[in-house]
Amino acid sequence: MSDVRFDFVKCHGSGNDFPLIDARGIALSDGEWAKVARALADRRGPVGGDGLLLLGQGAGDAAFSMRMFNADGSEAETCLNGLRCVARMGFEALGIDAARVSLKTSEAEAVRDADLAPGVYTVRETAGPAGLDVAAWPLEAGAERIVDAPVPPLGSDRRFTAVAMPNPHLVAFVDRVDEAELVAVGEACEAAPAWLPNRANVSFVEVRGEQALFVRTFERGVGLTDSCGSAMAASSFAACLTGRLGYDAPITVFNAGGLVRATVGRDAMVSLSGNATWEWWGSIEVDLARARAGDLTVEAHADAEIAAWAALADAASR
C-alpha cells in the first residue's frame, strides 16, 4: 500500500490544531500512522497541525479510544486539547454526550459541557491522577520527585515541578515568560539526553490573579506551541500543589491560543473545560512511502464556529 485517501476534519482545541481522522475502520500499522502524521501535520504541506488525532474503537467500558501522533511521528501518551476534539467526533458518531475514553496508557472521562461562549462547542474532560514519580518517565536527577526545585542535569537555575499527566511535564513559575529561555530549555529536553531519554514538555507559567494562569509550552515532538492541554492541566496541578492556587476552585488558564477552565481536586484529578472547534473538513491523499500529502479536497468551512471562537480568543487576549 502506498497512496491512501483519508477523510478528515481540521479542528482545534484552544488553538492547538490538528487533522482528525475517524480511524475505526482503517487498518494501518503504527509506523504507517506515524507517516500519515508527518505528512498531514507538516506546516509546509497542504494541511498542517501540531499533530494527528485518531478516533478509534472502544474496549471494555470505554466508548471509544484516542491516539495522538506528534508532528514528528512520535506517539504521545495523551493530548487533552486533542481529546476534546476526538470526544466531539465520538459523541456525534455514537449519538452520546458523555464517555470514558481509552488513551495510550490511561483513560479519561469526557462530557459535553455548557458552551464557553455562544457557538463554541465545549467539552469537559477529567484526567489523572497527576503523578510525581519521576523514575517512571524516566528522569534521572537524583530525586524521587521534583517539586519547585532545580533539575541539576538541565543546567538551569529555574525551579521546576515535574508532573506526569500522564505524559511528562516540567513546569516552572516565572514572573514573565521569556520565550528564548523556554525554547532553550525545551530544546535541551527535546535532545533526549541520557538522563531524560523519552524527552519532556516544558512550560513557563505566570500566575495572574487569585485563580488564573498564563501557560506557554515547548511541546515534546512539536516545539513552541500556542497551547498544550496536558501542560495546562499539569501547570494547574503544580500551582495547587505548591500553594500558589487553591484546590477544588475554578481556574482560568490562558494561553497564546485562547483559554480553558480548570479544576484540580485534592485527589490529583484535573478537569479541563474547553473548546472543540471544527474549522474545515475534506479529504486528502497520502503517499505512505514518502510520508507526503497531496491532492487536497476541501468540502466546507465551519465559518460560524471559527467566528465564535475568534470572538472568545480576542476577548481572552485582552
**317 pLDDT above the threshold of 80:** no
* For range 101-108, the mean pLDDT: 92
Q: Which three cell numbers stand for residue 119?
A: 457557538
pLDDT tier, 1 (very low <50, low <70, confident <90, very high otherwise):
low
C-alpha distances in Å from residue 179, one per residue of 77, 145, 259, 313: 25, 26, 19, 21
> What is the model's pTM?
0.89
- If you compute the radius of gyration of the chain from its CA atoms, what whole number of angstroms results? 19
Read off the pLDDT of each residue in 12-23 and give the average, rounded to a whole number.
95
**Same fold across 3-111+276-317 and 134-274:** yes
Architecture, CATH, for domain 134-274: Roll (3.10)
Residues labelled as active-site residues: 79, 228
pLDDT greater at residue 210 or residue 120:
120
pLDDT, tens digit, 9 for 90 and up, residues 133-161: 999 999 998 899 999 999 999 988 899 99
Q: Under DSSP, is residue 60 helix (H, G, I), strand (E, B) or coil?
A: coil
Residues 160-193 have pLDDT tens digits of 999 999 899 999 999 999 999 999 999 999 999 9
Domain ranges in the chain? 3-111+276-317, 134-274
Q: Could you read off the pLDDT of 226-283 as tens digits, one per residue?
A: 889 999 999 999 999 999 999 999 999 999 888 999 999 999 999 999 999 999 999 9
Question: Given this model, what pLDDT does residue 300 score?
Answer: 97
Rounded to an integer, what distance in angstroms lies between the CA atom of residue 59 and that of residue 65? 8
What is the pLDDT of the chain when averaged over all its residues?
95
Query: Is residue 110 pLDDT above 60, yes or no?
Result: yes
User: What percent of the chain clears pLDDT 90, i.e. is strictly above it?
Assistant: 88
**Amino acid 121: pLDDT:** 98
Fold for the domain defined by 3-111+276-317: Diaminopimelate Epimerase; Chain A, domain 1 (3.10.310)
How far apart CA 183 and CA 113 sit, in angstroms, is 34
Which residue blocks in the chain are alpha helix, DSSP H? 30-41, 80-94, 179-190, 229-241, 303-317
Span 51-100, pLDDT tens digits:
999 999 998 999 999 999 999 999 988 889 999 999 999 999 999 999 99
Which one-letter amino acid corresponds to residue 119? Answer: G
Residue 112 identity (one-letter amino acid): R
